[in-house]
Amino acid sequence: MSTKVRVAILDDYQNVALELADWSAVLARAHIDVFHDTIPTSQPDKLIERLKPYNVICAMRERTRFPAEIVNNLPNLKLLITTGARNAAFDLEACKANNVVVSGTQGYGNSTVEHTWALLLAAARNIPRDHFRVASGAVPWQAGSLPIGLFGRTLGLIGVGKLGTKTAEIAHLFGMKLIAWSPNLTPERVAALPVPVSYVASLNELLAQSDIASIHMVLSPSTRNLVDRAALAHMKPTALLVNTSRGPLVNEQALLEALQQKKIGGAALDVYDEEPLPVDHPIRRLDNVVLSPHMGYVADNNYAVFFRDTAENIVAFLDGQPTRVIQ
């Protein structure tokens, strides 16, 4: 590598990347450009034009995707960094074919679990509605449906890996009953969890029993549309669905129809099929949803580690000793 390289930091929505880490060692050897918007891969020519000059690209999770169509057309790219330890939006085979080193970062804390509970509680307690009433001076200041008390209610966990297990531990403190299912879950694994959880044999059975269902699954070809129209039909008309994992785990059109027709009580969503969520998306107009803009991993302490490691990865690569290499 030459002594002066070009680095792009992508999708820095809050304009904090350069503030949260020491970039001095990078700036001594590179020129850094920071971008605050996302060009979707549905506009490949525009995205390629933006990224073509750069030797190093720093991605924020899956906000900008790197399929083969993009990677193959970035002739100057030598190092592609993701925040986090893996990124399903990177075509690793294309990176390998183009001799692009891919590295990741560590994370810090439990921000996704925290955000799961923030959304769940906001939906169960009607926080957005009540905030609006108080802030706007509405009279009477209490109105509408009652909050859902969590004690004694059933939380269905679709997935009990690291995040699902931590979610279960918090639910246990609230006195909730816990049930769990995932495609490869076994009764033996459930029995080994740190809090009492009951195994159920199918997704439909879990949804039928749950007062609140929370998704904690990795998106893959086998889990895409896992919660489809038929599955949603098993939910109680008062039940809530929480998704802080990935949007396409749930069939978006089926969920939209269930919410519009009040077939379920509501949804608390942090993830969507298309992100950023289109301005005219009909889910924005519903009164039985709590929505956030994919904030599950967004936290000051987590970002500090993301960007610290990103800067370290660049320096290590320039020194000929790549670190935290995924491929």
H helices of the chain, in order, are: 24-27, 44-51, 68-71, 92-97, 111-124, 127-136, 162-173, 187-191, 203-209, 229-232, 252-260, 300-318
Inter-CA distances, 266 with 75, 179, 192, Å:
47, 20, 32
Helix 111-124, helix 127-136: angle, nearest 10 = 70
275 assigned to active site: yes
**What single string gives the DSSP state of each residue in 94-146?**
HHHHTT-EEE-----S-HHHHHHHHHHHHHHTTHHHHHHHHHHT-SSSS-SSP
**What is residue 16's three-state secondary structure?**
coil
Q: Which residue has the tokens 């269905």?
A: 156
252 assigned to active site: no
224 assigned to active site: no
Q: Report the alpha-carbon distance of residue 294 to residue 275 in Å, rounded.
A: 8
Q: How many CB atoms lie within 10 A of CB 172?
A: 17
Q: Report the alpha-carbon distance of residue 56 to residue 281 in Å, rounded.
A: 34
User: Which residues, in sequence order, are CB contacts of 294 under 8 Å at separation 6+?
Assistant: 270, 271, 272, 275
Q: Report the alpha-carbon distance of residue 245 to residue 236 in Å, rounded.
A: 22
Catalytic residue among 63, 153, 234, 246: 246
Catalytic residue among 275, 281, 308, 324: 275
Burial class (CB in 10 A: 0-12, 13-18, 19+), 210: buried
Residue 180, H or E segment = strand 177-181
Helix 111-124, helix 162-173: angle, nearest 10 = 50
**What is residue 8's three-state secondary structure?**
strand
User: Which of the residues are catalytic?
Assistant: 246, 275, 294
